[in-house]
């Protein structure tokens, strides 16, 4: 699964260029995140209404559909298993017409006994941007004055280093071609399913980080402080 992630890039111009969106989409409220948690607001990239360009929009992590009674269920829909997207009513329509990219530069997973679980930050060796495959929905529930955009991260079977920590991992779309294909209209289910595969061996590394990240309220560079050497060596 993916229950926390990071996007620590500070430069607005750089993030706009990396995501292929207009700089105006990256407004002055942009700030780096070291501990994005479920039910918090983040950013997603989706195709524009003409289907030819990309736009960056705010969205809450935890998918909520128009038929849901309230938004509390979004906490149970932060991840969507790639293997069942076409079967689950919560994700079926979004898989067909509302796919998005979730920008990040790493994600957290935990290992060990519950009382002493150790957090690891999983990322590219060069700490560069990754794009998770995502789905989004816009829903205005009874009593709300406007629609709210929400999203979920698609997960798949883990491979390589992530598999030593957790059996699931986010689907990482490898390169612009895969990202464009995920956003493109008119894709067949077979074409889309072909994109939902684990990251290749060697694509990701992990390091033990501060247990401070366990607290949802913690969101600063110290979350990525490297843990003591004995913790680091316990797994890798």
CATH number of domain containing 33: 3.90.1680.10
DSSP annotation string for 94-154: HHHH-EEEEEESEEEEEES-GGG-EEEEEE-TT---EEEEEEEEEE--TT-SS-EEEEEEE
Q: Is the dihedral of CA 68, 73, 78, 83 positive or negative?
A: negative
CB 93 within 8 A of CB 66: no
pLDDT of the chain along its 236 residues, tens only?
A: 799 999 999 999 999 999 999 999 998 889 999 999 999 999 999 999 988 899 999 999 999 999 998 999 999 999 999 999 999 999 999 999 999 999 999 999 999 877 778 999 999 999 999 999 999 999 999 999 999 999 999 999 999 999 999 999 999 998 899 999 999 999 999 999 999 999 998 999 999 999 999 999 999 999 999 986 434 445 55
Residue tagged active-site, from 28, 52, 86, 109: 109
2 is a catalytic site residue: yes
CA distance 136 to 188: 18
CB 160 within 8 A of CB 205: no
Domain count, the chain: 1
Q: Which of 171, 174, 153 is nearest to 162 (CA)?
A: 171
CA distance 18 to 141: 34
Calculate ∠ Cα 2-29-125, nearest 5°: 40
223 is a catalytic site residue: no
pLDDT at 111: 92
Q: Which of 167, 225, 183, 222 is nearest to 2 (CA)?
A: 167
| Helix/strand/coil for 163 | helix
Q: Which of 206, 73, 204, 220 is nearest to 132 (CA)?
A: 204
Range of the domain at 88: 5-233
Q: How far is CA 149 from the centre of its chain?
A: 15
Q: Are strands 99-104 and 130-139 parallel, antiparallel or unpaired?
A: antiparallel
């Amino acid at each position: 699964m993916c229950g926390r992630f990071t996007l620590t890039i500070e430069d607005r111009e750089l993030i706009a260029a990396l995501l292929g969106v207009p700089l105006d989409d990256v407004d002055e409220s942009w700030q780096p995140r070291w501990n994005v948690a479920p039910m918090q607001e983040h950013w997603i990239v989706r195709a524009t209404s003409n289907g030819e360009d990309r736009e960056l929009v705010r969205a809450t992590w935890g998918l909520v559909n128009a038929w849901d009674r309230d938004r509390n269920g979004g906490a149970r829909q932060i991840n969507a298993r790639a293997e069942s997207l076409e079967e689950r009513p919560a994700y079926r329509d979004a898989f067909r017409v509302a796919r998005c990219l979730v920008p990040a530069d790493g994600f957290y997973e935990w290992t060990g006994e519950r009382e002493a679980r150790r957090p690891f930050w999983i990322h590219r060796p060069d700490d560069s941007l990754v794009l998770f495959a995502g789905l989004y929905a816009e829903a205005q529930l009874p009593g709300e004055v406007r629609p709210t955009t929400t999203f979920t991260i698609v997960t798949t079977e883990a491979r390589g280093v992530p598999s030593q920590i957790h059996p699931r991992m986010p689907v990482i779309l490898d390169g612009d071609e895969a990202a464009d294909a995920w956003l493109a209209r008119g894709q067949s289910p077979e074409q889309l399913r072909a994109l939902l595969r684990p990251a290749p061996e060697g694509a990701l590394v992990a390091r033990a980080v501060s247990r401070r990240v366990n607290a949802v309220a913690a969101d600063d560079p110290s979350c990525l402080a490297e843990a003591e050497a004995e913790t680091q060596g316990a797994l890798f």
